[in-house]
Structure 1
């Protein structure tokens, strides 16, 4: 009976172990599917955030367009009002100017005609004066001849004696008359000279007045042309008012359309924000489910049941202990300063995209860690990489395949230059900050160009001189 009981218990133990292994396998498959779903949800959440930002940007732009159109409509209304005022002012001013110019032009023409007539009259007077001067000179000549005759008569009267006394009296009267005529002739000649001088001045001024009047007529014609141009300008302003009023209708329609678009965008923005919020909650719950799945896988692995992750976990534990041993020995021998080993002053390497950083210990880790990481790659065909990260996700040294010199292509650098970078994503930080004996995570690895592959990440904490430095990570393929 005891033997049978032992056999029964052994069978039950085998059955329980088989059951747990089967459960472990199923949990592993569930974890893979959850990780895949979680990755998709994370992508959707990131896409939702991007879409929310895009919608917000478009909404702000639409509001700006509406505000601009509204200001444009106001400016156009003000322009129409100003143009209408200008049109009225131009119309009134043009009418007044035209009336004034017409009157002035008529007055100038009359003045010019009067000046020309006055000039002609002065010419006629000048001719009469010249004739008077000729007559005056003739009178003066007659006076001289009369005086000469009087002198001759006086001489003959003197010769005749008493018989010539009568002739003497007549001669004296004739002489007196001749003297008076000569006096009048001289005064007349003097007055005529003064009149000629005055007439000459009047003729010169008349000539200038005639020239000024002619010039004024020409200028009046130019003013008339300017008035005509003002009339054309007034007509152009009227057309401008009409054109602005014609543009106002499309602007008003644009404002109405912009308001409708704004209403639709505001509604879409609210929907996207709600969608973003829901995606955030979904991401949080998906992460929680993934955490539960990973905790369950760790629990099964810790129970002693062999799973597909057990071998990788054991490799990760051995390599982590080897890393700790090398670091402790280096610190003890002084080849690595304890302070330098915990250097967190990341100095960015210039011209690197994605950004890479230096710390005080990277040369040492490149020399001592990389050979170990390279050996790990051959320990299981599923292993893709092996590296260590500090508690902030900084990865100083990587496998050779992922430690190439960076170039100008950021996409290529992201896939091939993964050393000296900070990986502060969910998987990276969880591995870096985990203090449990080990951690197994399933995640979607970004391979670039929108391509993703499902991978697992086994990590074990690394302690240096009793302090938590970070964690060793081994990434390996998921068996489909």
Structure 2
């Protein structure tokens, strides 16, 4: 029977290739084990690297998604600004036309106001002339009154003379009869003159009262006319300035229209640029999301390869952790089964999926019907694993939905108000971790699942870790798993 030759051994001059078949199989098994271990180590490094790259891509993807939203909002804002800019240009154009029309109307109104002011000045002059004439008439009436009084005095004296003449004529008897007739006529004439002067005086008194009232009204009219003239003088000054002001306003409006049109052009250009940038960012976001999905799938494949090499029975760097988590998962499953059989907890309560939010917690914590039970039974099983290696970060049971009811003591501090970052690092118990790693661990039903991932340590710091989990089965029902996380 011909034996297969090891070409590599022949090339290297290895004489052992010609040993017995048992020796050859032993050597081949040893070589195969070494190759498998080497492959496992390399795949392990690859999975960690892929997890790290996948985390970076996810960060960039998340950043691009946020930026995409920001660009979309910016695009909406620029669209709105551009539309408002066009409205401003339109409004500024209308304002410019309005200013031009107003300036034309003001010019026309200014001309009319100047004419009105001239008319008011002429009217004021006429009122002043009338007032002066009334004053002169009043003075003449005073003179007439004086003359009338003098005539009245003459009539009185004439009446006295006629009375004396009549007396003398009576004494003269027949010789004074003609003189008596003359004296009677003189008396009648003086009586008429007295009556006339009395009527004149009465009329002059009435005219004097009316004249005084007219003079008073004319004085008031003169005063009012002077005030109107002063006001129209000031209005005239304002009217003369107003066209100049409107000219300046028109120029400013012209400048505004020009600036608004320039802004509108810039906004239109920016609108086009932002549209292009938004489309580019959206395209990049989609590409990154696709790359992230492919990297996640590749990471899953590398993790499956790690699991396959581990199941071949070859010890790798992860073997000790795999065995440790499997042992703890068996202990937890046994403890859960014993508790159900002893009536310590009902099976339905142990599989409760009603996660009641705990008020005042941030990040949100939840409680179920089995939380108090796991708080009692899990710490003695989980805490000792933390001493297994200084690389171990945590060991905790997680249900099939990603809920960790009872975490390690160092991660189970009460939440502090308004300190979400601190709580996220130190109060990780009673929380739902439904991320990829958490859900994969809780839902896996294979003997074990080995995953690599990047853990957020806060403040922008990350640590590359591996997560090995083993399922927990209770009376044929899958409850969840025990997770053991350790630094790479």
Q: CA deviation at 1:413?
A: 2.2
Verify: 1:100 aligned to 2:116, yes or no. yes
In structure 2, the partner of 1:221 is 230
Choose which of 76, 83, 87 in structure 2 pairs with 1:71.
Answer: 87
Choose which of 168, 175, 193 in structure 2 pairs with 1:166.
Answer: 175
Choose which of 397, 413, 421 in structure 1 pairs with 2:431.
Answer: 421
In structure 2, the partner of 1:161 is none
Separation (CA, whole Å) in 1 of partners of 2:93 and 2:455: 60
Note if contact 2:135-2:215 (Cα within 8 Å) is conserved in structure 1.
yes
- Which 4+ residue blocks in structure 1 deviate beyond 6 angstroms? none
Choose which of 157, 161, 178 in structure 1 pairs with 2:172.
Answer: 157
Aligned to 1:454, the other structure's residue is in SS state strand
CA RMSD of aligned residues (A): 2.2
Separation (CA, whole Å) in 1 of partners of 2:241 and 2:434: 75
Q: Deviations over 1:399-429 (max 9, x none)?
A: 1111122234332222222111121211111
Separation (CA, whole Å) in 2 of partners of 1:370 and 1:232: 92
- Structure 1: gaps of 5 or more residues: 159-164
Aligned to 1:404, the other structure's residue is in SS state coil
CA 1:211–1:379: 2 relative to 1, 3 Å: closer
Verify: 1:29 aligned to 2:38, yes or no. no
Note if contact 1:373-1:387 (Cα within 8 Å) is conserved in structure 2.
yes
In structure 1, the partner of 2:364 is 355
CA 1:82–1:178: 2 relative to 1, 3 Å: same
Q: CA deviation at 1:441?
A: 0.4
Verify: 1:139 aligned to 2:155, yes or no. yes
Alignment of 1:173-322 (within 5 A): 173-322=182-331
Separation (CA, whole Å) in 2 of partners of 1:226 and 1:333: 107
In structure 2, the partner of 1:438 is 448
Aligned residues: 471
In structure 1, the partner of 2:12 is none
Aligned to 2:387, the other structure's residue is in SS state coil
Q: CA deviation at 1:430?
A: 1.0
Alignment of 1:5-24 (within 5 A): 5-24=21-40
CA 1:181–1:382: 2 relative to 1, 3 Å: closer
Note if contact 2:329-2:470 (Cα within 8 Å) is conserved in structure 1.
yes
In structure 1, the partner of 2:16 is none
Note if contact 1:463-1:469 (Cα within 8 Å) is conserved in structure 2.
yes
In structure 2, the partner of 1:125 is 141
Separation (CA, whole Å) in 1 of partners of 2:139 and 2:109: 43
Verify: 1:44 aligned to 2:60, yes or no. yes
Note if contact 1:342-1:469 (Cα within 8 Å) is conserved in structure 2.
yes
In structure 2, the partner of 1:471 is 481
Aligned to 2:360, the other structure's residue is in SS state coil
Question: How high is the TM-score relative to the length of structure 1?
Answer: 0.92
Q: CA deviation at 1:317?
A: 1.4
Q: Deviations over 1:47-84 (max 9, x none)?
A: 22222223223323322332332222222222222222
Separation (CA, whole Å) in 2 of partners of 1:381 and 1:210: 115
Note if contact 1:112-1:214 (Cα within 8 Å) is conserved in structure 2.
no
Q: CA deviation at 1:439?
A: 0.6
Separation (CA, whole Å) in 2 of partners of 1:228 and 1:15: 113
In structure 1, the partner of 2:13 is none
Note if contact 1:116-1:210 (Cα within 8 Å) is conserved in structure 2.
no
CA 1:190–1:379: 2 relative to 1, 3 Å: same
